[in-house]
Structure 1
Amino acid sequence: MTSLNVAIVQAAPVPLAVSDGIDKAVRLAREAVEGGAQLVAFGETFLGGYPLWLDEAPGAALWDHPGTRALHRLLMENAVVADDERLLPLQELADASGAVISIGAHERVRNSLYNNQLTFRPGEPVLDHRKLVPTHGERLVWMRGDGSTLNVHQAEWGRVGALICWEHWMPLARAAMHNLGESVHVAAWPTVRESYAVASRHYAMEGRCFVLAAGLVQVKDDLLDGLERCGGDAAAQELIEAIPGEVLNQGGSLIAAPDAGLLAQAGEGEQMLTATLELSAIAEALASLDTDGHYSRPDVFELTVDTRSRLGVNWRDGDSED
């Protein structure tokens, strides 16, 4: 396969109400697939919405803030879990169409939440990538991921992987992903600001891959609507209403080539951003730069990646050997 049709779904999530968000995601992903997309990308935590109150609501980080506590409870109650049957329509769409679908979600593992970029693959189990370091105020919501979800999917046309938001400023995470040989990389963002666009295009140049920088569109009323769908909460509503301004995530999604050139860029508002990627451009770009090969110095620099799952508590059978 020498070319690949891709689509970024730049759309508003349904905050908090994950089941309703899945319904919207399936509809939009199907629209993209019916338009010919073989790879479909959604932004960071599309399922559940980005927790905008952490950055925008005055006092949200105060200890035991009742609104923050209520919103955390709702995220816990609605988050996706392992083998979540609500996600089956996305898997079925991938199976039926042969398309790969990358989408962000709040995931609950035991009693902690993770920021997970899920990759639905035709005929294979979903691939997780849990954000390694939640950024700044995000640490009030999400647990840190581990090296077990630094991975790529091998498709017939090449390899596709994902990083989330400020992971694109983690040099060693980038080096690890470049070593995995991505043809296409999904850069998931809440919104693609200027600096995020720079990071996405830099990743394309450095990794000699195509980058789909996927952002969300979100306004304050979306948060209030999602809260109402979840049954409402007075403290949570008061916190959200204290957020100044209305438009909080503005999209800005883009598709970059292996030379960092722009193939497509979205404006503000909901839209489907599409492009046809000429995969031969990767090998041509590698002639001058291969940061994992002829432009590396393994005699000087060495990176070790621990891909073990870090559970914290490991149970052993009493009859097992030490």
Structure 2
Amino acid sequence: MPKKITVAVAQARTLSTLELTLASLKQTTQHAASKGVHILLFPEAYLGGYPRTCDFGTAVGARAPHGRDQFLEYFRAAVDLGDTPAGAGDDWVERKLPVAQGRDHRGDGTREFLERVSRETGVFIATGLIERAGGELVLLRATNADLELLEKTGSERLVWAQGSPSTLKAITTELNGVKLTIAAAICWESFMPLLRQSLYSQNVNIYLAPTADGRDTWLPLMRTVGFEGRTFVLTCNQCVRYNELPSWITEQGKTTEDRYISRGGSCIVGPMGEVVAEPIWEVSTDDAADGSSIESGLVISEIDLEDCERGRLDMDVAGSYSRDAFRLTVDGLDLDPPPF
């Protein structure tokens, strides 16, 4: 019997405030739910923003004062999920961390908002966000059934801190009666063969790959991931014009330049490396204030998870096709597939 679910990626862009971006996320998720979507992926750093073109006033051996003001603005725009700087893992997921006197939750309420939207729509939400934890900013992906934390990283070490390997652990869930093992790699982490292998070893059948990379080299990589891991790949990027960046980047909003600095390229790839849903360009779910552009900024496809199992007849890079001479271990990460 086919194991079918409907998946989607949202080619969205970060709006001027967290409140507006969350409202757009909710509207897009509601629309996706009306289309029967079970999993919806939003882009890298969607909540908090990806500071394209910003150098934070840095040069080798020098720091300009305006860069510190830019970092302050970026820090303020980040999300507080109530986690600890090192990542509290299961204690955070299970809400075992202490809560301040007089409050019923940790953080700024974003976690609770995402959980509520997911619960009300029945959609499993995965979104990139910039987390503020202590004095650090961490680029991460929070995934929402019970808002399991999939991954934290920080590839651009100038403004983002480094995440723990333990957060590369895949998670399991069941949607539409289909059991899923989901993992994520942020942007160029998918260019790292050993990191990809660590996810394949956990028997993933949904590989989430939000990115900030819209170059021609990205789609071939995603096709490689799908074929290599015998997994479905969901990837999405923001579609942004220069004048849509925060005013603290664009000289206090004085520019009227409307060139694209990110054209998108969001798509879905199958477990034989085939492009299930072609990339879309120069369109965003947020292009129209009345929500009329949501449809054109969504990439939706019904997929059959049994295709992953069919594909492993002749390729299983973490199992039958791997030579006994090779063993991958990752400090702080259990590579055994997570239990259902």
Relative to the length of structure 2, the TM-score reads 0.79
Q: For each residue in 1:273-298, what CA deviation from the matched residue of structure 2 results, as whole angstroms up to 9, or x when unmatched?
A: 1000111111111001000001112x
Tell me how large the CA RMSD over aligned residues is. 2.2
Of all paired residues, the percent bearing the same amino acid is 26
Of the three residues 134, 140, 152, the one matched with 1:116 is: 140
The one of 237, 250, 256 equivalent to 2:269 is 256
Quote the Cα distance in structure 2 between the aligned partners of 1:243 and 1:127.
38
CA distance in 2, matches of 1:203, 1:263: 14
Q: Which amino acid aligns with 1:115?
A: L
Is 2:30 aligned against 1:6? no
State the SS of the aligned residue for 2:113.
helix
Aligned 1:5-24 pairs, distance under 5 A:
5-14=6-15, 17-24=17-24
Matched, 1:189 2:203: no
- CA gap of 1:68–1:171, structure 2 versus 1, over 3 A, is same
Q: Which runs of 5+ in 1 are unaligned?
A: 228-232, 309-322
Query: Secondary structure of the equivalent of 2:234?
Result: strand
SS at match of 1:180: coil
Offset of 1:170 from its aligned partner? 1.1
Residue type matched to 2:63 in 1? D
Deviation per residue, 1:180-209 (Å, 9 max, x gap): 111111111124321111111111111100
Structure 2 unaligned blocks of 5 or more: 83-106, 285-296, 334-340
1:64 and 2:88 correspond: no
Q: What per-residue deviation string (whole Å, max 9, x for no partner) do you get for residues 140-171 of structure 1?
A: 11111121211222111211111110000111
Displaced runs of 4+ in structure 1, greater than 3 A?
Answer: 239-245
* CA positional deviation for 1:3: 0.5
**In the alignment, does 2:307 pair up with 1:281?**
yes
Separation in 2 of the partners of 1:255 and 1:211?
Answer: 6
The answer for the alignment partner of 1:98 in structure 2 is 122
Corresponding position of 1:221: 243
Quote the residue 2:281 is aligned against.
267
**Letter in structure 1 aligned against 2:14:** P
Contact 2:29 2:123 in 1 (8 A): no
SS of 1:139's equivalent in the other structure is coil
Q: Deviations over 1:197-232 (max 9, x none)?
A: 111111111110000111111111111xx43xxxxx
* Separation in structure 1 between the aligned mates of residue 57 and residue 261 of structure 2, nearest angstrom: 16
TM-aligned CA deviation for residue 300 of structure 1: 1.3
In structure 1, how many angstroms separate the alpha carbons of the residues matched to 2:332 and 2:21?
31
Deviates more, 1:282-291 or 1:61-70: 61-70
- The SS at the match of 1:276 is strand
Q: 2:47–2:128: 8 Å Cα contact kept in structure 1?
A: yes
The residue number in structure 1 matching 2:158 is 140
State the alpha-carbon separation in 2 of the partners of residues 67 and 25 from structure 1. 31
Tell me the SS of whatever aligns to 2:185. Answer: strand
From the superposition, tell whether residues 128 and 68 of structure 1 become closer, same or farther in structure 2 (CA, over 3 Å).
farther
How many residue pairs align between the two structures?
288
Contact 2:242 2:261 in 1 (8 A): yes
Deviation for aligned residue 1:237: 4.1
* Distance in structure 2 (CA, Å) of the matches to 1:139 and 1:99: 33
Q: Check 1:34–1:65 CA distance in 2 against 1; reply closer, same or farther (3 A cut).
A: farther
The verdict on how the C-alpha distance between 1:68 and 1:219 changes in structure 2, with shifts beyond 3 A counting, is farther
How far residue 244 of structure 1 moved from its aligned partner, in angstroms, is 7.9
Q: C-alpha separation between the residues in 2 aligned to 1:246 and 1:110? A: 36
Partners of 1:53 and 1:60 within 8 A in 2? no
> What is the CA–CA distance in structure 1 between the aligned matches of 2:330 and 2:252, rounded to whole Å?
41
Alignment check: 8 A CA contact 2:148 2:171 kept: no
